[in-house]
């Protein structure tokens, strides 16, 4: 059965087509700069990457090119072969604790949640509608970034703010990266050979979050009402004294829009280093002795260690710690610095095993009290799996 896994952003559209249930990737690609000029797309097929410059005025035009590529490359002979399309949706709030088949009511609820994800949810609906128009016979499924976190208890997801904010404005912790955390947790369960286990999953990329997982269920996560909570990220500040916001609005005369921009786009590694949001540039700066890059890296690592320590206590011990996403999978130094600081938990890194990028591997010594793993994430396959499962009933 052919299933498309789709991730629509405001100006981009990523896709991957699978033969299910074998989980074989048939073609993948990304359309970029949709509606903002200089648009192009890249596709990967049989190990070959092809780039094409095309005018893409909207998502529908991107889907038209996608259909054309699928037919020309003989991935499909007719559109009816595509049985399902799984769409990544960032915010499902407390309305969805699992993936669902999309109907008009689902679209309505996703749209109602727009204020909670003003950039992402509208883009997902644009993507859903574009595919619905061009491939109407495929069953569309919504896979939410938040649904894995819906198992958190109230004491974990509430903020110590007026209760009415929760009741009237839905202010609570929702988390994010749920599909990735779930994939890594499932994979760790397979590696450990048991379902009942305690895991700390560190998704560390440009956006970063850590989740405490017990028996396959999320019990806490570092992202919050928005993705700007918890860890220091590429450009987001993460946990910060919230009273700094009104203080700086008043002192520096910043508007709501400006302060929102600062905390989301000008903070984190970029804000501290003044150099870059990219971990590789920070490490290059460290090599040159740049003090602010050193400080940025230390703050970044320290916050991750603080969350691991917090979740270690919350879980009352842990069976494994897992690293994933851009930095988690590739950041050899970052992983080493994190694990060195966790020596008090009896964690012993194996530097030789850790000297690797992007492969699944144990990176601690046999004698380490807690085994730590790199587990490359795969959100696309999770979307395809949920879509397949819902179609099969
Ligand atoms: P993501 O958001 O998951 O794509 O991750 C982006 C982050 O991963 C950036 O900070 C990159 O610097 C980092 N990253 C990607 N590849 C590497 C690499 N080979 N070594 C170190 N960091 C990397």
DSSP string, 297-344: HHHHHHHHHHHHHHHHHHHTS-SEEEEEHHHHHH-HHHHHHHHHHTGG
d(CA 125, CA 348): 46
Question: Ligand 1 pocket test: which of 205, 326, 380 has the largest number of ligand atoms within 8 Å of its C-beta?
Answer: 326
Contact 142, 85 (CB under 8 A): no
Dihedral angle sign, alpha carbons of residues 378, 384, 385, 387: positive
Q: Is the CB of 384 under 6 A from ligand 1?
A: no
Map tokens 């700390």 to a residue: 200
The two three-digit tokens of residue 298, written as one number? 């230390």
Using a 10 angstrom Cβ sphere, with 0-12 exposed, 13-18 middle and 19 or more buried, the burial of residue 100 is buried
d(CA 295, CA 33): 34
Distance, CA 330 to ligand 1 centroid (Å)? 6
Contact 16, 31 (CB under 8 A): no
Q: Is the CB of 206 under 6 A from ligand 1?
A: yes
Helices (H), the chain: 59-72, 104-112, 120-134, 154-157, 163-169, 178-192, 244-251, 256-265, 268-273, 279-287, 291-315, 325-330, 332-341, 351-354, 379-392
pLDDT computed for residue 393 by the predictor: 85
The residue whose CA is least distant from atom 17 of ligand 1 is 330
Q: Is the CB of 227 under 6 A from ligand 1?
A: no
The two three-digit tokens of residue 304, written as one number? 């991750």
pLDDT computed for residue 304 by the predictor: 99
Q: Is the CB of 123 under 6 A from ligand 1?
A: no
Region 11-23 average pLDDT: 97
Q: Is the pTM of this model over 0.85?
A: yes
Q: Is the CB of 279 under 6 A from ligand 1?
A: yes
Question: Ligand 1 pocket test: which of 223, 331, 356 has the largest number of ligand atoms within 8 Å of its C-beta?
Answer: 331
Distance, CA 359 to ligand 1 centroid (Å)? 14
Q: Which atom of ligand 1 is nearest to the CA of 234?
A: 10
Mean pLDDT of the residues in the chain: 97
| pLDDT of 37 over the 90 cut | yes
Q: Is the CB of 357 under 6 A from ligand 1?
A: yes
DSSP string, 197-260: -EEEEEEESSSEEEEEEETTEEEEES--SSS-SSS--SS---S--TTHHHHHHHHS---HHHHH
Sheet containing 13-19: order of strands: 48-53, 40-45, 24-32, 13-19, 2-8, 82-89, 139-144, 100-101
The two three-digit tokens of residue 27, written as one number? 């073609």
Region 222-229 average pLDDT: 96
Domains and CATH numbers, the chain: 2-144 (3.30.420.40), 193-379 (3.30.420.40)
> Which percentage of the chain shows pLDDT scores above 90?
98
Distance, CA 77 to ligand 1 centroid (Å)? 37
Region 318-340 average pLDDT: 98
Distance, CA 205 to ligand 1 centroid (Å)? 6
d(CA 252, CA 244): 11
Distance, CA 134 to ligand 1 centroid (Å)? 35
243-267 pLDDT per residue, tens: 999 999 999 999 999 999 999 999 9
Catalytic residues: 145
Q: Is the CB of 328 under 6 A from ligand 1?
A: no
* Cross-strand pairs, 48: 45
The residue whose CA is least distant from atom 18 of ligand 1 is 330
Nearest to 135 by CA among 87, 101, 84: 84
- Helices 379-392 and 178-192 meet at what angle, rounded to 10? 90
pLDDT computed for residue 339 by the predictor: 98
| pLDDT of 167 over the 90 cut | yes
C-alpha angle 38-44-47 in degrees, rounded to nearest 5: 145
**Cβ atoms within 10 A of the Cβ of 294, count?**
15
| pLDDT of 184 over the 90 cut | yes
3 state DSSP class of 348: coil
Q: Is the CB of 324 under 6 A from ligand 1?
A: no
Q: Is the CB of 330 under 6 A from ligand 1?
A: yes
Region 215-223 average pLDDT: 98
The pLDDT confidence band at residue 119, using thresholds 50, 70 and 90, is confident
Nearest to 113 by CA among 159, 59, 174: 174
Region 32-43 average pLDDT: 95
Question: Ligand 1 pocket test: which of 280, 286, 304, 380 has the largest number of ligand atoms within 8 Å of its C-beta?
Answer: 280
Distance, CA 325 to ligand 1 centroid (Å)? 7
Distance, CA 233 to ligand 1 centroid (Å)? 12
C-alpha angle 71-76-80 in degrees, rounded to nearest 5: 110
* Cross-strand pairs, 158: none
């Amino acid at each position: 059965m052919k299933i498309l896994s789709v991730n629509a952003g405001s100006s981009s559209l990523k896709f991957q087509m699978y033969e299910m249930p074998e989980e074989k990737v048939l073609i993948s690609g990304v359309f970029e700069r949709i509606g903002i000029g200089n648009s192009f797309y890249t596709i990967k097929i049989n190990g070959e990457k092809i780039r094409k410059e095309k005018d893409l005025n909207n998502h529908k035009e991107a889907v038209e090119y996608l259909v054309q590529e699928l037919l020309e490359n003989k991935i499909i002979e007719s559109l009816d072969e595509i049985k399902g399309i799984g769409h990544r949706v960032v915010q499902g709030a407390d309305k969805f604790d699992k993936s669902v088949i999309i109907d008009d009511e689902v679209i309505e609820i996703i749209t109602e949640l727009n204020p909670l994800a003003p950039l992402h949810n509208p883009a997902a609906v644009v993507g859903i509608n574009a595919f619905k128009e061009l491939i109407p016979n495929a069953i569309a499924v919504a896979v939410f970034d938040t649904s894995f976190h819906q198992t958190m208890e109230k004491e974990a997801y509430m903020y110590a703010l007026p209760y009415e904010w929760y009741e009237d404005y839905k202010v609570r912790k929702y988390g994010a990266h749920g599909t990735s955390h779930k994939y890594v947790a499932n994979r760790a369960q397979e590696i450990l050979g048991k379902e009942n286990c305690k895991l700390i999953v560190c998704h560390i990329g440009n956006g970063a979050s850590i989740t405490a997982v017990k028996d396959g269920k999320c019990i806490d996560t570092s992202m919050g009402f928005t993705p700007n909570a918890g860890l220091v990220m590429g450009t987001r500040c993460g946990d910060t004294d919230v009273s700094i916001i009104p203080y700086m609005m008043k002192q520096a005369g910043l508007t709501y829009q400006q302060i929102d921009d600062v905390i989301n786009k000008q903070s984190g590694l970029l804000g501290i280093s003044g150099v870059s949001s990219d971990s590789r540039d920070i490490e290059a700066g460290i090599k040159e002795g740049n003090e602010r890059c050193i400080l940025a890296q230390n703050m970044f690592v320290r916050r991750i260690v603080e969350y691991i320590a917090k979740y270690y206590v919350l879980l009352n011990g842990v069976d494994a710690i897992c690293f994933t996403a851009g930095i988690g999978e590739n950041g050899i130094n970052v992983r080493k610095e994190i694990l060195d600081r966790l020596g008090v938990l009896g964690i012993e890194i194996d530097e030789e095993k850790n000297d690797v990028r992007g492969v699944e591997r144990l990176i601690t010594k046999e004698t380490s009290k807690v085994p730590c793993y790199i587990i490359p994430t795969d959100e696309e396959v999770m979307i395809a799996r949920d879509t397949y499962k819902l179609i099969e009933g």
